[in-house]
Chains A and B, each alone.
Chain A
Amino acid sequence: MPTIRVPALDTARAWRDAARGLLGAGVPPADVLWQFGDGDADLFADAPAAPPAAAKVGVPKSFVALSENVCWHSDPQRFARLYALLWRLRDNSGLIADRGDADLARLRLMEKAVSRDKHKMKAFLRFREVPKVTDRRRFAAWFEPTHHIAEPMAGFFARRFGDMDWLIVTPTRSVEFTGGDITLHDGAAKPDLPDDAHEALWTTYFRNIFNPARLKIQAMQSEMPKKYWKNLPEAAAIPDMIAHAEARARQMQAAAPTLPPIRAARITESLAQPAPPPASDLDALRQQATGCTRCPLYRDATQVVMGEGPRDAALMIVGEQPGDQEDLAGRPFVGPAGQLFDRIAGEVGLDRRHAFVTNAVKHFKFAPRGKRRIHQRPDAGEVVACKWWLDAERALIRPRLILAMGATAAASLTGTGQGILKRRGTFETTREGTPVLLTLHPSYLLRVPDPAAKEAALRDFRADLSLAVARLAA
């Protein structure tokens, strides 16, 4: 029976080559014995044989990743188990996706154990500074992994600590990083490393970031098992931290409230915010509206979105409410509907920069749906509550014509939003007598599903905008 010796260095690649050769030569798993490094050979084994030359064999990709990890496991059976699965994969490559298969499940567990061990090495290895020999700083660490992971972990530490020299010693393998080069050595006993003053600072941090009112010892130990504690400088503080936690928490609760320091009142007073000035101009109006709580919409929206445009604009354009983008940016009509409006307005010679653009409702109303916000139409109460701000804007701008886009704007300006499709393209008036041209809302144009109907709606909208241009020119 051939015995294949897999070396302790570069183990994963050596196993892969050997397995390819055996598979190519059609050697069944029962006919192979595997040996790791120079370890004790099987009593019944022949002297180690060279495996057949690696042949090209098709293997599922995720098996390669699996074997890469499992080869570093400490279980002596790992090579045989891997090869047995590989053998089964020959005529059933779908097996690799079968999470219920017992052989595969066992290898997956081993893979997980190696990954966890690697992860814990990344987490719990602690360097101490040692005297330097070149101008690069030098550090050294002692770590006791469960599996043979020092070699595959060398790259991680080299990528992380690239500008310093370091040495990691484990019982089975040591890794040296000097001047940017990785060298592997045999394992060694725990070296005697000089004290490092930063361990005291680190322990101070560990003690103080701990909240004694939330003692959860089990949670700590499941992630940081006791077997790692002896090489963690901070772990020495744990028993004491646990012992006094409850008393500390109780003390905080029992302590009588103290009088605030004298400076506190002075500082707090100086921070009290002045009352908003009266709305004599647009900026003041915007400032007042920032604190608006006339309806509940302010609670969920980011900010109030007031109108913008020249103070002496002849045309005022009123939409429904800010959308997602407007709510974030704090400016009206910057989202998709605003862009559509700009495009069509440009076609009929209407320059938005000369108009005052605003909305009937100043806060965004929405329903959260996963990572998105779905627009919700404001109800009558919200429209009435917000009319106060629209009226204030109208009083300041005093436009010659108002373009009301959509039912909500129509409702706020004329008292009713009913039948907008029939009323569009006609002029009505506000209660004060300002002419209001009714049209569709551009976001409606974006949503019409039927292409022919969409074309018609766009045509209507364009005609309405032309009507506004003509009226202003008259």
Chain B
Amino acid sequence: MAKHDLQQKLAILSDAAKYDASCASSGTAKRHSRKGDGLGSTEGSGICHAYAPDGRCISLLKILMTNFCIYDCVYCVNRVSSNVTRARFTPEEVITLTLEFYRRNYIEGLFLSSGIIKSPDDTMADMVRIARELRTIHKFRGYIHLKTIPDADPKLIEEAGRHADRLSINVELPTDAAVKTFAPEKNPGTIRKAMADVRLTKEASAERSHTGKRPPRFAPAGQSTQMIVGADGANDATILGQSTRLYSSYKLKRVYYSAFSPIPDASAKLPLIRPPLEREHRLYQADWLLRFYGFGLDEITGATKDGNLDLQIDPKLAWALQNRHHFPLDVNAAPREMLLRVPGLGVKTVNRILTTRRHRTLRYEDLTRMGASLKKARAFITAKGWTPGVLTDSADLRARFAPPPEQLSLF
């Protein structure tokens, strides 16, 4: 096999890493290097240093340590049966790239993942070594996200959490059956067990001992996971059901949905499709409604017969159109939990409505200034100087929001 230089390796190993959707760098502990004894800072909010033409944020150096892998997951570009070019970084190369990119303000930190080589423990140990050396030798205080290998020794995962801001373990597919079919070497039970361990270790690290001493910090930005959407036959109700269970069981910060996307040298067992980007987008919207807007799973997925979300309109609007008997709502009187259900009003806008209406009566024009999207909201609210009249119950209300039918694209 030809030997690759650093640039070639970087090309191969970032190409192999792009199917992980997460690039978040937010919500970790605050750190800085103002005293000159190190490099890097984290101040709460994440920073996207660039955007690729796929619209995705580039916040971290997202690479694989190696794309050699002994597993044969059908959907994955790096599976053992694929003929893609293979490469492997040395730990020093990963460390140097991270630091040099960081110094030039290209990135917030490192998101390191890897194919499984030799054994899960060997691979995890190498990844932990990179994180440890960045933190201890180079005093790097930027963001580190480590992809955790579920079968690795819990001691390695514990050490990973001491150096990394975030750990993640991908559940890969929405059902155990699909994992068995498409990722035969992975065990859904082991993946859940690993997420449970991360939650327990993190909770234990938050408790002070009887002497008041705090144990070392563990993954201050929590854990996340990813599910591939559209590779198996699972419907949106199944996918969202799985994520609600994951959120409640393992206190995940995020469940990422990744539309199954064409890969080089795909497997014959899983025909390539055009990535269902619109579906992915609707799933994220539904995920938000479940977590921050007080919606129940049945309310969101019960709107259609096949358990899939409406692709043409967002899930909140879909719910409102089916439950018009709740509307219109008076923005000057309606309770918070009902205002959150109005299409076009977000959490921030609702909070602004609540603080302002304590002082005075809200007019229709006020709502635009508060950030409401009145194109959507107007049919569902009343305010001083505004009533939607018959609009709320008009038969063509859905048509006002749904995009006009278009000719199918050939690709």
A interface residues with partner B (beta carbon < 8 Å) = 94, 97-102, 105, 119, 122-129, 137, 139, 141, 156, 158-164, 180, 196, 198-202, 204-220, 223-224, 232, 234, 238, 241-242, 245-246, 249-250, 252-253, 255, 257-258, 260-261, 263-264, 267-268, 271, 290-291, 298-303, 327-330, 366, 368-373
Task: Judge whether A158 and B34 touch: CB under 8 Å.
Answer: yes
- CB of B233 closer than 8 Å to a CB of A: no
Q: How far is the CA of A125 from the CA of B49 in the complex (A)?
A: 9
> A127 to chain B: which residues have CB within 8 Å?
103-105
Stretch at the interface among B158-166, B241-249, B337-345: B241-249
Q: Specify which chain B residues have a CB less than 8 angstroms from the CB of A242 in the assembled complex.
A: 53
Cβ contact of A97, chosen from B10, B37, B355, cutoff 8 A: B355
Given contacts A210-B54, A214-B261, contact A162 B35 (CB under 8 A): yes
**B211-219, B319-327, B363-371, B387-395 - the one binding chain A:** B363-371
User: Which B residues contact A (CB, under 8 angstroms)?
Assistant: 6-7, 10-12, 14-15, 17-19, 32-41, 43, 47-58, 61-63, 70-72, 80-83, 97, 100-101, 103-106, 139, 175-176, 185, 189, 192-193, 195-197, 199-200, 244-245, 247-249, 251, 259, 261-268, 272, 274-275, 277, 291, 352-353, 355-356, 358-360, 362-363, 365-367, 369-371, 411
Q: A99-B356, A291-B189, A328-B200 are in contact. List 16 more A-B contacts (CB 8 A).
A: A100-B369, A102-B369, A123-B47, A124-B50, A137-B103, A159-B43, A201-B100, A207-B11, A209-B15, A209-B62, A220-B54, A255-B265, A271-B70, A371-B248, A371-B251, A372-B248
A interface: dominant SS: helix
Which residues from chain A contact B272 at a C-beta distance below 8 Å?
252-253
List chain A residues, Cβ under 8 A from B367: 100
Question: Does B267 contact A257, Cβ atoms closer than 8 Å?
Answer: yes
Q: In the complex, A156 Cα to B33 Cα: how many Å?
A: 10
Question: Could you say which of A253, A302, A369 has the most chain B C-beta atoms within 10 Å of its C-beta?
Answer: A302
Instruction: Please give, as numbers and ranges, the residues of chain B lying within 8 Å of A263 by CB-CB distance.
Output: 80
For B55, the closest partner residue in chain A by CB is: A219
Complex CA gap A273/B106 in Å reads 44
In chain B, what residue has the closest Cβ to A245? B53
With a cutoff of 8 Å between Cβ atoms, the chain B residues found around residue A94 in the complex are: 359
Q: Which residues of B contact A125 (CB under 8 A)?
A: 105
Q: Which residues from chain B contact A291 at a C-beta distance below 8 Å?
A: 189
Pull 16 A–B residue pairs with CB atoms less than 8 Å apart, ordered by A.
Answer: A98-B356, A98-B360, A99-B369, A159-B41, A162-B33, A196-B104, A210-B53, A212-B54, A216-B277, A260-B83, A268-B185, A302-B249, A327-B196, A327-B249, A368-B249, A370-B248
With A198-B100, A209-B62, A302-B249 known as contacts, the answer to whether A214 contacts B259 (CB < 8 A) is: yes
Assess whether B193 is in contact with A214, with CB atoms less than 8 Å apart: no
Provide the bound-state CA to CA distance between A94 and B358, in Å: 10
In the complex, the answer to whether B277 meets A214 with C-beta atoms within 8 Å is yes
Q: How far is the CA of A101 from the CA of B356 in the complex (A)?
A: 10
**CB within 8 Å for A198 and B104 given contacts A205-B10, A303-B193:** yes
Contact A139 B103 (CB under 8 A): yes
Bound form: Cα–Cα A91–B248 in Å = 48
Residues of A within 8 A of B268 (CB): 257
Nearest chain A CB to B152 CB, angstrom units = 15
Nearest-neighbour CB distance to chain B for A186, whole angstroms, equals: 23
Instruction: Check A99–B193 contact: CB distance below 8 A.
Output: no
Tell me which residues across on chain A come within 8 A of B263, comparing CB atoms. Answer: 252
**Distance of B38 from chain A, by nearest CB (Å):** 6
- Residues of A with C-beta under 8 A to B262: 213, 249, 252-253
Known: A198-B104, A257-B267. A163 touches B200 (CB 8 A): no
- A97 touching B32, Cβ below 8 Å: no
Whether the Cβ atoms of A258 and B83 lie closer than 8 Å is yes
Alpha-carbon separation in the docked complex, A161 to B355 (Å): 40
Residue of B whose beta carbon sits closest to that of A97: B355
Establish whether residues A163 and B80, one from each chain, have CB atoms under 8 Å apart when the complex forms: no
Chain A nearest CB from B301 CB (Å) reads 14
Determine which of A202, A330, A371 lies in contact with B106 in the assembled complex, contact meaning CB atoms within 8 Å.
A202
- Give, as a whole number of angstroms, the nearest-CB distance from B349 to chain A: 8
Tell me, in angstroms, the Cα distance from A133 to B332 when the chains sit together: 65
**Interchain CB contact under 8 A, B47 and A201:** no
B249, A99: Cβ atoms closer than 8 Å: no
Known: A260-B83, A303-B192. A163 touches B37 (CB 8 A): yes
**Bound: A308/B194 CA distance, A:** 21
- Name the residue of chain A whose CB is nearest to the CB of B116: A271
A159 with B34: CB separation less than 8 A: yes
Out of B41, B55, B353, B411, which one reaches A160, CB within 8 Å? Answer: B41
A-B pairs, top 8 by smallest CB distance, nearest first, are A219-B55, A100-B366, A216-B55, A260-B81, A162-B33, A368-B248, A257-B268, A159-B32
Q: Which residues of A contact B18 (CB under 8 A)?
A: 208-211
Are B261's CB and A208's CB within 8 A? Answer: no
What's the nearest-Cβ distance from chain B to residue A306, in Å?
Answer: 14
In the complex, what's the smallest C-beta–C-beta distance from B370 to chain A, in angstroms? Answer: 4
Known pairs A139-B104, A216-B277, A368-B249; A97 contacts B359 (CB<8 A): yes
Interface pair B104/A217, CB less than 8 Å apart: no
Quick one: which of A205, A255, A264 contacts B14, CB cutoff 8 A?
A205
- Say yes or no: A159-B33 contact (C-beta < 8 A), given A126-B104, A198-B101, A205-B10: yes
Residue from A102, A163, A211 whose CB has the most chain B CB atoms within 10 Å: A211
Q: Which of B54, B245, B362 contacts A214 (CB 8 A)?
A: B54
Please report the C-alpha to C-alpha distance between residue A369 and residue B70 in the assembled complex, in whole angstroms: 38
A223 touches B34 (CB 8 A): no
The answer to whether A204 and B11 touch across the interface, beta carbons within 8 angstroms, is yes
User: Which residues of the partner chain A approach B32 to less than 8 Å between Cβ atoms?
Assistant: 159-160, 162
- Are B54 and A211 in touch, CB under 8 angstroms? yes
Choose one: A163, A299, A300; the contact of B36 (CB below 8 Å): A163
Given the complex of chains A and B, what is the CA–CA distance between A102 and B63 in angstroms? 48
Complex Cα distance, B371 from A329, in Å, reads: 45
Distance (whole angstroms) from the CB of A82 to the closest CB of chain B = 18
State whether B54 touches A258 (Cβ < 8 A).
no
A88 to B302 CA separation, bound complex (whole angstroms) = 50
Q: Is the CB of A218 within 8 A of B55?
A: yes
On whether A368 and B265 interact (CB within 8 A), knowing A100-B369, A164-B103, A201-B97, the answer reads no
Chain B minimum-CB-distance residue to A293? B176
Whether the pair B53, A216 counts as a contact (CB closer than 8 A) is yes
Q: Which residue of A lies closest to B15 (CB)?
A: A208
Question: Per a CB cutoff under 8 Å, which of A164, A223, A257, A371 touches B51?
Answer: A223
Instruction: Tell me if B53 and A215 are in contact (CB < 8 A).
Output: yes
B255 to chain A, nearest CB (A): 12
* Interchain CA distance A459-B202 in the complex, whole Å: 37
Cβ-neighbour of B189 out of A160, A205, A212, A303 (below 8 A): A303
A266 to B344, CA, bound (A): 56
A97-B355, A100-B366, A161-B103 known; A264 vs B81 contact (CB < 8 Å): yes
Is A252's CB under 8 angstroms from B264's CB?
Answer: yes
| CB-based contact B275/A223 at 8 Å | no
**CA separation between A7 and B265, bound complex, in Å?**
62
